[in-house]
A = this chain, B = another copy of it.
Amino acid sequence: MAAVGNGAAGGGVDTKASFRQIYDTLKEELLTDPAFEFTAESHQWIDRMIDYNVLGGKCNRGLSVVDSYKLLKGADVLGEEEMFLACTLGWCIEWLQAFFLVLDDIMDDSHTRRGQPCWFRLPEVGSIAVNDGIILRNHISRILRRHFKGKPYYADLLDLFNEVEFKTASGQLLDLITTHEGEKDLTKYNISVHRRIVQYKTAYYSFYLPVACALLLSGENLDNYGDVENILVEMGTYFQVQDDYLDCYGDPQFIGKIGTDIEDYKCSWLVVQALERADENQKCILFENYGKKDPACVAKVKNLYKELNLEVVFQDYENESYKKLIADIEAQPGIAVQNVLKSFLHKIYKRQK
Give the contact stretch, choosing among A141-149, A279-287, A333-341: A141-149
- Please state the number of chain copies in the assembly: 2
CB of A112 within 8 A of chain B? no
Q: How far is the CA of A107 from the CA of B130 in the complex (A)?
A: 7
- Chain B residues contacting A135 (CB-CB under 8 Å) are 166, 169-170, 173
In the bound complex, what is the Cα–Cα distance between A167 and B142 (angstroms)? 11
One of A8-16, A152-160, A317-325 contacting the partner: A152-160
Contact flag A128-B35 (CB < 8 Å), given A142-B166, A155-B154, A162-B138: no
Task: Tell me if A177 counts as interface (CB < 8 A to partner B).
Answer: yes
Decide if the interface of chain A is mainly helix, strand, loop or mixed.
Answer: helix
Give the interface size bracket for A toward B. Answer: 35 or more
A128 contacts B37, C-beta separation under 8 Å: no
The contact string, 1 if C-beta is below 8 Å from chain B, for chain A 25-41, is: 00000000001110101
Contact A41 B177 (CB under 8 A): yes
B196 touches A39 (CB 8 A): yes
Contact A35-B163, Cβ < 8 Å, known A45-B177, A169-B138: yes
Contact across chains for B170 and A36 when beta carbons are under 8 A apart: yes
- A3 on the B face (CB < 8 A): no
Say if the beta carbon of A303 comes within 8 Å of chain B.
Answer: no
CB distance from A146 to the nearest CB of B (A): 11
Query: CB < 8 Å: which of B41, B46, B107 contacts A127?
Result: B107
Can you spell out 23 A-B residue pairs with CB atoms less than 8 angstroms apart?
A: A35-B170, A36-B166, A36-B167, A39-B193, A41-B177, A103-B134, A106-B127, A128-B173, A130-B130, A131-B169, A131-B173, A134-B165, A135-B166, A138-B162, A138-B169, A142-B166, A145-B162, A149-B155, A149-B159, A154-B155, A155-B155, A155-B158, A158-B162
